[in-house]
Amino acid sequence: MRTPPGANFPSLHRSIMSQATSESSRTCYCGELSAEHVGKEVVLKGWMHSRRDHGGLIFVDLRDRAGMAQVVFDPDSLPDGQFEQAHRLRGEDVLAVVGQVRRRDEDKINPNIATGELELHVASFEVLSKADVVPFKIDEHQSVSEDHRLKYRYIDLRRPAMQSSIRTRARVNGAVRRYLDGLGFIEIETPILCKATPEGARDYLVPSRVQQGSFYALPQSPQLYKQILMMSGFDRYYQIARCFRDEDLRANRQPEFTQIDCELSFPTCEEIYEIFEGMMAAIYREAKGIELPTPFPRLTYSNSMARFGSDKPDLRFELEIRDVTEAFASGCEFKVFNTIIEKGGVARALCVPGGAEKYSNTQLKPGGELPAFAARYGAKGLAWFRAEADEGGVVSLTSNIAKFFSDECRAALAAALDAKPGDLVLIVCDKAATAATVLGQLRVYLGGELGLIDSDAFCPCWITDFPLFDWDEEGKRWHALHHPFTAPNPEDLDRLESDPGSVRSLAYDLSFNGEEVGGGSIRIHQPELQQRVFRLLGVSEDEAKDKFGFLLDALRFGAPPHGGIAFGVDRIMMQVMGTDSIRDVIAFPKTQSASCPMTEAPSGVETSQVRELGLRFTPSVEKKLADAADAEAGGGSVT
RNA sequence: GGGGUCGUAGUUCAGAUGGUUAGAACGCCGGCCUGUCACGCCGGAGGUCGCGAGUUCGAGUCUCGUCGGCCCCGCCA
């Protein structure tokens, strides 16, 4: 545990107070007590973590941000009355203690804590703050529901795991700043009160009091500001920026989140990959002392979808998806497959090593574990085969549906998959996108179930050559896959209008152990091209002018080619800390319903505040508020 | 908007098929204990079984509704 920069404790040799009071200066952190303190008198301040009261002798573990130290209350060395007071100490009381540091006898060393060879013999102490009985104990051995942890977050954050998580996050922020500063990036703050834009996530809106009826939006990202900064000639910008998206939450998604937001002028994709591989390496060096090998591997989007069924492949294990459409070209009498393939569908498969025994017929039949899992992602069915060796040692595939497939067909399938005896073959026959998604999800699920994932591995990967647009079936329109300012790949530019779906963009994502931790693109810097893309997206000239006029103007007054990237700090920290929940790397996160159990945000406000904004509730909301007030039985204020 | 799952003591949980006084561990309170360290020993208190209806002679248990937590689908340029 490093002494933080700026922590400036007085010398240990200053004259020591006989009495510990709030006035006496702390000499070191509990967790930093070390051999050099032996024989010296020190002042410690911290929380009473636990107490072992032997009647005639009391041991207390005193805890602070650096760790714990055992302090010993011995009636022979304490002023009158203090030993009796020590009996009354309770969990989480805040204490100042003065005393001499002693080395423990060999047989009394506690190997479980860093300061276990030492203890402080208390000469005097003061209770700086009495604690009520805490709602839950700060105890690694007992789990506490997340609800409670968030309601009493100040207590939860005292837990060593949370301390470590939050402090590692601070060090990562520092490492990022040092790295980017060193490369000439300029940290620039951008507004939180922004203009609402169409496209993209739902905005958090802030009503304007001064201009009633108008709204600001909180930034989904500083996207347009950072592009404008390139046109302002700053050349390299970054910001550790808070972003807001009013969408439903997930284990890896909060409504407000933090991005390392970057933009460069005159970049090539290669430069961007190199710079930010370096940044990720700096993060892992700082946080974990690990050297990430660079350059990171790259995969095109279409490759990644075909082989891993995802644009954020988990490369910590193999288990690749194979296309087996060809194997069914002849000798397959399975109507379902034939029909789908004739209509342009594909058959794709996972060949799961050792899966034949692991998964029973019950788990494989319709409605069973694996088909049910597949159905969640849109699969209409999941076909399977078990690979067995016959007497001659030749691999054959058996299944409840084997009779629909000729021997040749099954042999072709086994060959295409290089199936070994004991393997389980899972096949999805569907539209290419559905087959990819279903098998991609199954791949990750099976990777976990079969223990294929090396949790110590770090597998970053750039995903490149994303499509510029995808077709929104519901809205019957093209839709920007990344965002509307992403540059098309110049090689595909001539198809922009004729075949938009085939146009690749200059966008890239950084995938890390199956999670998208960053993404960006080279931007459009010609106003004409930007207009063409808006047109494709169904943004009329008037709307473009209204919503993005400032950008189109700025592009006309000398816009350098530019591009950038943004990284999700929260997701990177999840990877660094190895947690499954984004809430474990955020000091004050929100629940799934976007509320904060501690502060009870969001909450009602005074009627006058609402009126001032020129707003009124709909009748259904009014009714809900009135019902809630009734239930509270006599709560006088609004809501 | 939808699916799943959970809600019982301060905390974490157990309470088959509905049936007498709802249990355990830790914590808490009181007592004892001079080398413990997830201290130990003895004793004790502590419950609106999330909330509201319903079925039933009888509901922690069954049904419906509702609120909240978590996971997921949709959504997240």
**DSSP codes, A355-410:** HHHHS-HHHHSTTSHHHHHHHHTT-S--EEEEEEE-TTS-EEEE-TTGGGB-HHHH
Q: Which of A602, A516, A518, A589 shows the shortest CA–CA distance to A166? A: A589
Residue-wise pLDDT for A180-205, tens only, equals: 999 999 999 999 999 998 888 999 99
- As ranges, strand B nucleotides with an atom below 7 A of a protein CB are 1, 10-13, 26-29, 32-40, 68-77
- Give pLDDT, residue A631: 66
Residue A104's nearest nucleotide, by CA–C1', is B35
Contacts of A598 (CB under 8 A, 6+ apart): A150, A151, A152, A153, A154, A588
Residue A71 has pLDDT above 60, yes or no: yes
Could you tell me if A65 and A46 are in contact, meaning their C-beta atoms sit under 8 angstroms apart? no
Q: Which residues pair with A564 in a beta bridge?
A: A263, A521
A338 confidence band (pLDDT: 50, 70, 90) = confident
Name residue, tokens 């930034």: A219
Residue A632 has pLDDT above 70, yes or no: no
User: Can you give the C-alpha Rg of chain A in angstroms?
Assistant: 31
Cα A207 to Cα A214: distance, rounded to the nearest angstrom: 6
Residue A637 has pLDDT above 50, yes or no: no
E-strand spans in A169-300? 186-187, 205-207, 215-217, 236-244, 256-265, 298-300
Residue-wise pLDDT for A366-406, tens only, equals: 888 899 999 999 999 999 999 998 877 788 899 988 888 88
Cα A429 to Cα A434: distance, rounded to the nearest angstrom: 9
E-strand spans in A271-318? 298-300
pLDDT > 90 in chain A, percent = 81
Q: Tell me which of A60-69, A381-390, A625-634 is least confident.
A: A625-634
Residue-wise pLDDT for A501-524, tens only, equals: 999 999 999 999 999 999 999 999
Residue A304 has pLDDT above 50, yes or no: yes
Residue A92 CA to B29 C1' — how many Å?
A: 17
Would you state the structure tokens that stand for residue A209, as one six-digit string? 């009091």
- Give pLDDT, residue A366: 86
Residue A87 CA to B32 C1' — how many Å?
A: 13
- Give pLDDT, residue A22: 67
- Inter-CA distances, A130 with A61, A133, A158, Å: 16, 10, 16
Look up the protein residue whose alpha carbon has the minimum distance to the C1' of B25: A142
Could you tell me if A524 and A487 are in contact, meaning their C-beta atoms sit under 8 angstroms apart? yes
Could you tell me if A501 and A512 are in contact, meaning their C-beta atoms sit under 8 angstroms apart? no
Exposed e or buried b per residue across A213-225, where buried means at least 16 C-beta atoms within 10 angstroms of its C-beta: eeebbbbbbbbbb
Residue A221's nearest nucleotide, by CA–C1', is B77
Residue A482 has pLDDT above 60, yes or no: yes
- Give pLDDT, residue A2: 45
What average pLDDT does the structure give for chain A?
Answer: 92
A93 confidence band (pLDDT: 50, 70, 90) = very high
**Angle between the A160-182 and A269-288 helix axes, to the nearest 10 degrees?**
140
Cα A115 to Cα A42: distance, rounded to the nearest angstrom: 14
Residue A439 CA to B66 C1' — how many Å?
A: 38
Please give the ipTM for the structure prediction. Answer: 0.94
- Give pLDDT, residue A392: 78
CB-neighbour burial class of residue A401 (10 A; exposed 0-12, middle 13-18, buried 19+): middle
Residue A608 has pLDDT above 90, yes or no: yes
- Give pLDDT, residue A592: 95
Tell me the HSE value of A571 on the side-chain side, using a 13 A CA sphere. 23
- Give pLDDT, residue A636: 31
Residue A58 CA to B36 C1' — how many Å?
A: 8
Residue A639 has pLDDT above 70, yes or no: no
A455 confidence band (pLDDT: 50, 70, 90) = confident
A20 confidence band (pLDDT: 50, 70, 90) = low
Residue A7 has pLDDT above 60, yes or no: no
User: Beta strands A507-512 and A205-207: pairing type?
Assistant: unpaired
pTM of the complete model = 0.93
Residue A540 CA to B73 C1' — how many Å?
A: 33
Map residue A544 onto helix, strand or coil: helix
- Give pLDDT, residue A634: 38
- Give pLDDT, residue A65: 95
